Chain A
Amino acid sequence: MSEVKLKKETNILDVAELENRIKELCQQFPHGITDQVIQNDMPHLEPQQRAMAINKLLSLGQLDLLRNSSGLLYRMKDTQSNSKMKGSDNQEKLVYQVIEDAGNKGIWSRDIRFKSNLPLTEVNKILKNLESKKLIKAVKSVAASKKKVYMLYNLQPDRSVTGGAWYSDQDFESEFVEVLNQQCFKFLQSKAETARDSKQSPMVQRNSSFATSHEVWKYICELGISKVDLSMDDIETILNTLIYDGKVEMTIIAAKEGTVGSVDGQMKLYRGVNAVIQPTGLVRTPCGLCPVFDDCHEGGEISPSNCIYMTEWLDF
């Protein structure tokens, strides 16, 4: 055996290298690669050699051959499932399949039971088994705190499951949101102030008080207050809360394709604005804020004459 190997050594090395290169390419393009891609990558390669390498990979079960509209596609086969599923029975494979199909959205154990048509106890046993082999994992969903969903071990859970940037361990990070809310506002406010102080014509002043969502996003990223990566959508969600706070206004303008921060030829502009009125007169009196307003009557248990809120307010 060793003799044979030695004889063919250079050739074998080449083949091994070739196989690795093809696998790398497959990993780079998880959706699959065509013959053309391999050819472009290694132009010096003989078609025969290429075919041999691919055939070998296919026969080893490391590559999948797919057909789509543009021709043949090679795709990496999940090697783990092959190696790790060794020793599993068909039921386990079935459950694994069901979970794999669910992708990174995960699947609920009840649904696994329906899809696999196995009894509940059986499913639970298999799930435990797979979990201990680190083939799958259970993720708590933010949608319902008591609901666990299963997905393959190596998957990054979908936003709908984790809740995206705003959740850590299914807990909504409300303080984080408020901090971002304040920072975004600070940014827009200082921009508006600079614009006001510029003493330019009113139109220029207004226009320079606007910031695109991209600018806000960049500012927040550079601040480095966030441990997780925030997308521009995340920032727009925050900016929207500022709109509902009545502190910010948004305008949508048409933008040239390819301008930074534009989406579908549109750009969202935000600016900080002042409130139209001071706190209204009613809420500047104790009664306007009074928790027992409806129970207060002259001559009653609670009355304006004996009211402690009034006394406090008057002596303030």
Chain B
Amino acid sequence: MTAQEVRLCGLLLREHFGEVVEKVGTHLLRGGAQNLRTIIHETGISLDLVKKSLCVLVQHGACVFSSGRKGPGSPTEYRTSCDRILRILRYPRYIYTAKTLYGDTGELIIEELLQRGHMTMSSTVKTVADRLTQNMEEGRCMDYSEVATAFAKLVETHFLQRCPPMVKAGTTGSATPATPATPGTPAAPVSTAPPTPESFPDCYKVPHMTLVGRGKRQLCSEEGEDQRNAKKARMDSQTHGDEGISWQVNFERFHLHFRDQAIISAVANKCDQTSSEILRTMLRMSEVTTSPTATCTKPLSANEIFRSLPTSYNIARPILDQYLTLLVDDPMEFVGKAGESGGGMYVVNLHTALANLARATLESVVQERFGSRSARIFRLLLRKRHLEQKQVEDFAMIPAKEAKDMLYTLLSQNLVQLQEIPKTPDFAPSRTFYLYTVNQLPTARMLLQNCYKTVANLIERRLFESKESKRLLEKSQRIEAILASLQASGAEPEQLTEVEEMITATEKQQLEALRLHINKLDSAENQVDESIFLIESYVTSTASTS
């Protein structure tokens, strides 16, 4: 865990859970596994607050606990990891993706689960149905069963998964999944190393749930209040048969989806729309058959691909073959040929594609930051591996003086490395080859850290901007509240304008500017997260294969 990661995690924790959780969280990140006493002692926060903070972290899966390292009976230790906390940055993207795939219902299900960490299916369905009903026209409402279907869909496609069951204290090892992860009492159970959710056979099994009814509005309308209340009471006392099974968002599954999306859009940029649709079909066919860490998809025959193409694309069989051949020929190597049977067997080279996309990301950084001629040198070195300065000048056609300048700038930013190879053992400079190289993996790692720092900077700036205009924001909120209550009580229009004018024109302008700034910073954070995603995926995929 680098300082940049910890700083960014701290900021994310502060934004979502407040400063106390930030303090406990960063303390855990810096200090590694610790027991409750040490945390209290070293942070100087009261026992109660530390406990609550840990609850929050555990609830969101950002903290695990295990019995102490000093053998049985030693105090429970808590551990957090950056990985899970950094996912907070990606929440908007998960939610947005759920919306595009499964509509408003999917969006709200994911949003609720992200906000609360984990929930049972029945309570998720209820909350979501209520929220949807809230936004519907008067008199219409959302059926629970409809939300439940969407929920089951999300489980079926693995976007949601069961939380791994907690193991009861004392029964280390022997799985007694009866005890659910009840929020609020995380300190009690003790378990060994945390199991992965997918190691449980029921991970993607939707439990039987008895939940009938429909979403309710909070602001009561006229329709039979008594009846509603009675129903509510009845509902709440009911059990739905799924108690103790909580669900969480499966980030890995979302990441696979993002990865596929990245590959598809790269093909659309490089080749054309049709090629990208063919690739989309191939990836969709492989979703279930290919393991998340595989370097390439299972081979697909041209026949199968042809059958799976949506008919609306209108691609004739010979044309499909041509497209596939072109994709195989493309130097980006997104698609590879695995055999001749079935009209040709094709695979999508997932890891190669990630590596190529990461390379394009690095190139784009150099290009934008140091200009296209430095980028030429950078790409040249990526292709030719080792080059002397003179060779760089000749290949890139850049005058000696400028080339030297650019190489030194890249060198000082660690984007390019210099290797010395002495011809004689005395290391005399005149008898030494000086070779420039680019090492893609370390460079990617470094840029990843830069991305973390950049996001942290953007968040800091956003917090600063809102703090600067705190007074103004509060004022406008107050006025809006007054306006709302006046409107509700049916006030005169003059009265309304009078209240409205309490905010001056300049203040309005300021508010507008602030809104623009915050939006800009927000979307920049999301954009940088896309860079982070690509580089992270490349780094982990390379680490898993080598």
The answer on a CB contact under 8 Å between A281 and B530 is yes
Contact of A293 among B326, B331, B450 (CB under 8 A): B450
Shortest distance from the beta carbon of B300 to any chain A beta carbon, whole Å: 19
Q: Mark A94-105, 1 if CB is under 8 A from B, else 0.
A: 000000000000
Chain B nearest Cβ from A247, distance in angstroms: 9
Asked if residues B524 and A284 are in contact (CB atoms below 8 Å), the reply is yes
Chain A residues contacting B368 (CB-CB under 8 Å) are 279, 283, 288-289
B217 interfacial contact with A, CB 8 Å:
no
- CA–CA, A196 to B275, complex, Å? 13
Choose from A166, A174, A196, A280 the contact partner of B364 (Cβ within 8 Å): A280
**Is B77 on the interface with A (CB-CB < 8 A)?**
no
Q: Could you say which residues of chain A place their CB within 8 Å of the CB of B530? A: 280-281
Compute how far the CA of A246 lies from the CA of B529 in the bound complex, rounded to whole angstroms: 25
- Are B376 and A276 closer than 8 Å at their CB atoms? no
A80-B356 Cα distance, complex, nearest whole Å? 63
Q: How far is the CB of A249 from chain B (nearest CB, A)?
A: 6
Q: When the two chains form the complex, which single residue of A172, A276, A280 contacts B400, counting CB atoms closer than 8 Å?
A: A172
Contacts of B397 in A (CB 8 A): 166, 174, 177, 181, 237-238, 241
Partner of A276, one of B266, B450, B524: B266
> Among the listed A237, A282, A303, which residue makes an inter-chain contact with B531, where contact means beta carbons less than 8 Å apart?
A282
**Measured CA separation A240–B377 after assembly (Å):** 12
Chief secondary structure at chain B's binding surface: helix
Is the Cβ of A202 less than 8 Å from the Cβ of B319?
yes
Known: A202-B323, A244-B376, A244-B383. A172 touches B527 (CB 8 A): no
Cα A314 to Cα B365 in complex, Å, equals: 21
Count how many chain A residues have C-beta atoms less than 8 Å from C-beta atoms of the other chain. 45
Q: Which residue of B lies closest to A283 (CB)?
A: B368
Q: Is the CB of B527 within 8 A of A285?
A: yes
Kindly provide the distance from the CB of B380 to the nearest chain A CB, expressed in whole angstroms. Answer: 4
Q: Is the CB of B531 within 8 A of A280?
A: yes
Scan B56-78; emit 1 where CB is below 8 A from any A CB, else 0: 00000000000000000000000
Flag if B454 contacts A314 (CB, 8 Å): no
Chain B 505-546 near chain A by CB (<8 Å), digits 1 or 0: 000000001001100110010111111001000000000000
Among the stretches B42-50, B435-443, B457-465, the one at the interface with A is B457-465
The interface size of chain B toward A, counting residues with CB under 8 Å, comes to 61
Decide: A276 and B332 in contact? CB cutoff 8 A: yes
Q: Which residues of A contact B464 (CB under 8 A)?
A: 304-305
Distance in angstroms from A179 CB to nearest chain B CB is 12
In whole angstroms, what is the CA distance A278 to B175 when docked?
49
Q: Are A282 and B379 in contact (CB under 8 A)?
A: no
Docked CA distance A15–B529 (Å) = 91
Contact with A along B269-286 (1 / 0, CB 8 A): 110101100000000000
A201 adjacent to chain B (CB < 8 Å): yes
A314-B395 in contact (CB<8A): no
Q: Is the CB of B457 within 8 A of A296?
A: yes
Q: Which residues of A contact B266 (CB under 8 A)?
A: 276-277
A283 touches B322 (CB 8 A): no
Once the chains bind, are A282 and B322 in contact (CB under 8 Å)? Answer: no
Whether a CB of chain A sits under 8 angstroms from the CB of B453 is yes
Nearest A residue to B361 by beta-carbon distance? Answer: A280
Specify the chain B residue showing the minimal Cβ separation from A203.
B322
Q: B270, A274: Cβ atoms under 8 Å?
A: yes
Counting chain B CB atoms within 10 Å of each CB, the highest count among A237, A276, A315 belongs to: A276
Residue among A166, A244, A277, A279 making CB contact with B379, cutoff 8 Å: A244
| A residues in contact with B528, CB < 8 Å | 281-282, 285, 288
- In the bound complex, what is the Cα–Cα distance between A48 and B513 (angstroms)? 104
Q: Write the residues of chain B forming the contact surface with A, with a CB cutoff of 8 angstroms.
A: 266, 269-270, 272, 274-275, 318-319, 322-323, 325-326, 331-332, 356-357, 360-361, 363-365, 367-369, 372, 375-377, 379-380, 383, 395-400, 402, 447, 450-451, 453-454, 457-458, 460-461, 464, 513, 516-517, 520-521, 524, 526-531, 534
13 contacts between A and B (CB under 8 A): A172-B399, A202-B272, A202-B274, A202-B275, A203-B322, A245-B372, A273-B270, A277-B266, A281-B531, A284-B527, A303-B460, A313-B520, A315-B513
